[in-house]
Amino acid sequence: MIKTIEYIDGVVRMIDQTRLPAEKEFVDCRTIEEVGHAIKSMVIRGAPAIGVAAAMGVSLGADSIEASAFEGFYQELEEKCDRLGQSRPTAVNLAWAIKRMKNVAHNNKSLSVIELKSRLKEEALTILTEDIATNEAMGQHGQTLVEDGNVILTHCNAGALATAGFGTALGVVRASVNAGKNIRVLANETRPFLQGARLTTWELKEDGIPVKLITDNMCGFFMNKQEIDLVVVGADRIAANGDVANKIGTYMVAVLAKENNIPFYVAAPVSTLDLSLASGKEIPIEERSSEEVMTINNKRIAPEGVEAAHPAFDITPNHLVTAIITENGIARAPFTESLKALANQK
Ligand code: MRU
């Protein structure tokens, strides 16, 4: 099994996703600031993985605090959490994990600071274990939508590398394969960061699941030829009405899927739901460096002086979404009701 992230002896170890597939190297973080930097620089990425990393970062941050009374400890912890929370804006799992860790501290005021530190470490490890179990449950629900022989299109990387393990969209693929179905994956390369080309193909190849790489602008061609049976993608944040923020290009895929009568599924844990937002219009979209658009493998592809835009995510409106697969079940329109019901389910 691919171990995207581990937390052992005060070290958070992550696979360096900026170097895959050429090299499988690890980055060790010993401070909350190093974890924040790893998230910002995409050493670790993907909404659930960012959440797990953040929880471990908060634990490292707590360990470094010298205050021995709760008030001083909690104040410093909050400051560190606020800075970590700014590392990436779109994936709600970051804020979700930080809030969960802060709540653990806040609700255990009676413990000594030493005990609190160990309680926070335990919570971070629980978040990791829960994430894998969540993905497996999501996969079980999702695989009921997949038939033997299906070709699944996916965008970006919503796999083991984007989570603590198993994956969300690729969790549906893995669960389908585990159920004995013959599945093939088409992976959009996902310009500009190439998560599809570099990461999705790498992890499916590791597991021996058939995958073919296509450039983003080819998926309409294959849909129109009826060579894609369904689309499954992940999500970074889902608003109460079912609008989905996911990797830039997802909206384009959803429009093409609708045009070609192909089901468009989103696989995401309940922690990715942000029911405080009425619609996708309120979801903050990260703008990343234009250098990531201007260069491929550090080689410049556009003339000096040319400007490039780089919104890292887009919003797929709910009317293009066939269903949202969560660990608690499958939500369909009207999403305002179905998502609320699944979110409140234990
Ligand atoms: O910029 P990234 O690589 O963090 O974006 C990742 C995605 O958009 C994924 O599809 C999403 O986080 C779901 S991951 C299970």
Ligand 1 first shell, C-beta below 6 A: 45-48, 91, 156, 158, 162-163, 168, 195, 234-236, 246-247, 312
Q: Whose CA is nearest to atom 6 of ligand 1?
A: 46
Task: Measure 128 CA to ligand 1 centroid, in angstroms.
Answer: 17
pTM of the model: 0.97
Q: Chain-centre distance of CA 89, in angstroms?
A: 13
N-terminal to C-terminal alpha carbon distance within the chain: 27
Q: Give the single-character DSSP code of 218.
A: G
Could you give the residue range(s) of every CATH 1.20.120.420 domain in the chain? 5-136
| Residue closest by Cα to atom 8 of ligand 1 | 247
* Ligand 1: centre distance to CA 195 (Å): 9
Closest-lying ligand 1 atom to the alpha carbon of residue 167: 15
Domain span(s) for CATH 3.40.50.10470 in the chain: 139-343
Q: Which tens digits make up the pLDDT trace of 235-265?
A: 999 999 999 999 999 999 999 999 999 999 9
Does residue 225 register a pLDDT over 80? yes
State the Cα angle at 143 between 186 and 42, rounded to 5°: 55
pLDDT of residue 169: 98
pLDDT at 11: 98
Q: How far apart are CA 66 and CA 61, in angstroms?
A: 11
Q: What is the pLDDT of residues 60-89, one digit of tens each?
A: 999 999 999 999 999 999 999 999 999 999
Residue 192's closest CA among 42, 89, 86?
A: 42
Mean pLDDT of the chain: 97
C-alpha–C-alpha distance, residues 77 and 69, integer Å = 12
pLDDT confidence of residue 186: 98
Confidence band (pLDDT; 50, 70, 90) for 18?
very high
Residue 1 has pLDDT above 90, yes or no: no
The CATH number of domain 5-136 is 1.20.120.420: yes
Let me know: does 88 contact 286? Beta carbons within 8 Å.
yes
Looking at the annotation, which residues are catalytic? 236
pLDDT digits (tens, 9 = 90+) for 135-194: 999 999 999 999 999 999 999 999 999 999 999 999 999 999 999 999 999 999 999 999
Nearest ligand 1 atom to the CA of 156 is 10
Which residues, including other chains, have CB under 8 Å from residue 73's CB and lie 6 or more apart? 62, 65, 67, 105, 113, 116
Please state which CATH number belongs to domain 139-343.
3.40.50.10470
